[in-house]
């Protein structure tokens, strides 16, 4: 302990102030340090609790730190220790004074409803204009006393108007519900307003008495700190609840997707499903029929997230109801369209359905506004796109669809996909595109269906994510069907 006291006593012995000065200013210095620590703590809370990231913490921090710096620099003891010249201190004091109310108004705009936001916006614009003019005037040496006086009147008017507005709405039963958060904020603003009124009137020479505004500000900052912290933790709790619900939704959506692909002699099917977020608007399913016949549906709901996922889940039941005419893709799509029409307004669904009969060596295909089917010939190795499209699903009740019939030969490969694959972009905002997909299929014709699916998705990942460091921008679904022939 003596070793710690020696440097402090030496500093006091050589300091340009006395112990009496320190005692007289200690209370104000302590208040300033508390406000400074509160502001720094709010910044730390904002960055370390990344799930909340509520801007009220930043506005609270700016408000508290600016006031604390101004308060401390007004103390001769602090100025003598900091080495800040009186001239520089006067400039800093003025700049802080004219901008101090701006973070507070931004804070108020965050926590209050739309009823008071218009008034706050007007005050923000007025204070920003005044601050710009005052700082410019300071640069050209215009009298500081005039700017302080104008700022005092402006602050008195704004604070008085806000308190009157809040209390008036409360008395009339208007505005937001009287929550604990709003109650604490109103009490703090009312108490601080009394101190501000006294401080500004004293500054204008209209009332006598010492300047005790710092004590009122400390109380007010405590109220603001409560509101800011309460909002941050409340937002984080809401995010945790949302994330939990999204995880449940993800599990539910995963449960409606096929657990395995059809097992048919001579046939290899690989399916890959990559949602952009926890839940997605892509969907695929299989219908297994008699004599090794099967049908495959792939669909893409416009939009992302929960709304798209809910519509995609509707396809599960609607598709199961199409088994009676699973051999006819045009009727399957017409049935799905009829089941979806009138169920939603702001979304639509693109879809494609492929039916295969290995014993008859045929496939039938129809699309509803979906990206074209890719076909790689086993004999020539050439890849071509097959587009047989009608209207997308869910919007036009009378829409009709046409099916295309093709021969099914050993070595043939068919690829169904959603547009998240072809529309993936690189750093230059260039899409991967259909041509690159076709080229990739031709150059990797020897791969198995499963290996090809993984390789193609890996190539798209290198194209879009690794090259540009951008996140996946759309859901992706890929189905590869290889027909090796009956043995």
pLDDT in tens, 411-447: 999 999 998 888 888 888 888 999 999 999 999 989 9
151 and 233 both lie in a single domain:
yes
Q: What is the pLDDT of residues 368-407, one digit of tens each?
A: 999 999 999 877 888 999 888 889 898 888 889 999 999 9
Q: Is the pLDDT at 468 greater than 60, yes or no?
A: no
Q: Is the pLDDT at 2 greater than 60, yes or no?
A: no
278 and 411 both lie in a single domain:
yes
Q: How far apart are CA 62 and CA 55, in angstroms?
A: 11
231 and 276 both lie in a single domain:
no
236 and 282 both lie in a single domain:
no
Q: In a 10 Å sphere around its CB, with 0-12 CB exposed, 13-18 middle and 19+ buried, how is residue 305 labelled?
A: middle
**Taking all residues of the chain, what is their mean pLDDT, rounded to a whole number?**
80
Residue 250 maps to a domain: no
Q: How far apart are CA 106 and CA 108, in angstroms?
A: 5
219 and 144 both lie in a single domain:
yes
Q: Of 210, 244, 278, which residue sits at a domain end?
A: 244
Domain region containing 371: 264-483
96 and 234 both lie in a single domain:
yes
Given pLDDT bands bounded at 50, 70 and 90, which one contains residue 7? very low
Residue 252 maps to a domain: no
Residue 226 maps to a domain: yes
273 and 190 both lie in a single domain:
no
Q: Of 244, 274, 306, which residue sits at a domain end?
A: 244
Residue 7 maps to a domain: no
Residue 289, SS3? coil
The Cα-based distances of 487 to 259, 266, 316, 449, 483 in angstroms read 27, 7, 33, 19, 11
The owner of tokens 């408000």 is 63
213 and 320 both lie in a single domain:
no
Q: How many domains does the chain contain in total? A: 2
The Cα-based distances of 200 to 149, 244, 281, 408 in angstroms read 9, 51, 59, 89
Q: Of 211, 244, 277, which residue sits at a domain end?
A: 244
The pLDDT score that the predictor gives to residue 4 is 40
Q: Pick from 152, 197, 213, 116: which is nearest to 124 by CA?
A: 116
Residue 280 maps to a domain: yes
The owner of tokens 């030496």 is 10
Q: How far apart are CA 392 and CA 368, in angstroms?
A: 5
């Amino acid at each position: 302990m003596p070793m710690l006291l020696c440097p402090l006593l030496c500093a006091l012995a050589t300091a340009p102030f006395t112990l009496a000065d320190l005692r007289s200013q200690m209370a104000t210095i302590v208040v300033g340090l508390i406000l400074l620590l509160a502001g720094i703590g709010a910044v730390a809370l904002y960055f370390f609790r990344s799930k909340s990231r509520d801007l009220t913490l930043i506005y609270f921090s700016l408000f508290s730190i600016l006031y604390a710096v101004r308060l401390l620099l007004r103390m001769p003891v602090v100025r003598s220790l900091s080495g800040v010249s009186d001239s520089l201190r006067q400039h800093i004091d003025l700049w802080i004074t004219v901008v101090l109310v701006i973070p507070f108004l931004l804070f108020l705009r965050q926590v209050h409803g739309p009823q008071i936001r218009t008034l706050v916006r007007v005050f923000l614009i007025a204070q920003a204009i005044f601050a710009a003019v005052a700082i410019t005037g300071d640069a050209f040496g215009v009298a500081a006393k005039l700017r302080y006086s104008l700022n005092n009147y402006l602050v008195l008017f704004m604070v008085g108007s806000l308190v009157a507005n809040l209390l008036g709405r409360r008395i009339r039963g208007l505005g937001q519900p009287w929550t604990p958060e709003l109650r604490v904020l109103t009490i703090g603003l009312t108490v601080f307003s009394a101190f501000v009124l006294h401080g500004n009137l004293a500054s204008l020479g209209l009332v006598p008495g010492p300047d005790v505004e710092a004590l009122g500000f400390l109380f007010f900052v405590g109220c603001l700190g409560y509101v800011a912290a309460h909002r941050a933790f409340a937002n984080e709790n809401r995010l945790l609840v949302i994330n939990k619900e999204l995880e449940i939704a993800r599990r539910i959506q995963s449960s409606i997707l096929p657990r395995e692909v059809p097992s048919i002699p001579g046939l290899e099917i690989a399916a890959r499903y990559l949602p952009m977020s926890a839940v997605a608007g892509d969907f695929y399913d299989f219908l297994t029929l008699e004599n090794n016949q099967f049908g495959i549906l792939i669909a893409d709901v416009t939009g992302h997230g929960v709304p798209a996922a809910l519509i995609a889940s509707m396809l599960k039941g609607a598709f199961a109801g199409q088994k009676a005419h699973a051999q006819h893709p045009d009727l399957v799509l017409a049935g799905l369209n009829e089941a979806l029409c009138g169920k939603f307004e702001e979304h639509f669904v693109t879809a494609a359905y492929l039916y295969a009969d290995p014993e008859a060596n045929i496939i039938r295909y129809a699309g509803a506004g979906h990206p074209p089917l890719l076909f790689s010939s086993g004999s020539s190795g050439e890849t071509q796109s097959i587009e047989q499209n009608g209207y997308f699903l869910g919007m036009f009740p009378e829409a009709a669809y046409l099916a295309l019939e093709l021969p099914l030969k050993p070595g043939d490969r068919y690829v169904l996909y959603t547009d998240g694959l072809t529309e993936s972009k690189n750093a230059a905002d260039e899409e991967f595109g259909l041509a690159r997909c076709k080229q990739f299929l031709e150059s990797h014709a020897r791969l198995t269906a499963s290996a090809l699916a993984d390789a193609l998705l890996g190539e798209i990942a290198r194209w879009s994510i690794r090259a540009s460091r951008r996140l996946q921008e759309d859901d992706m679904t890929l189905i590869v069907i290889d027909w090796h022939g009956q043995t």
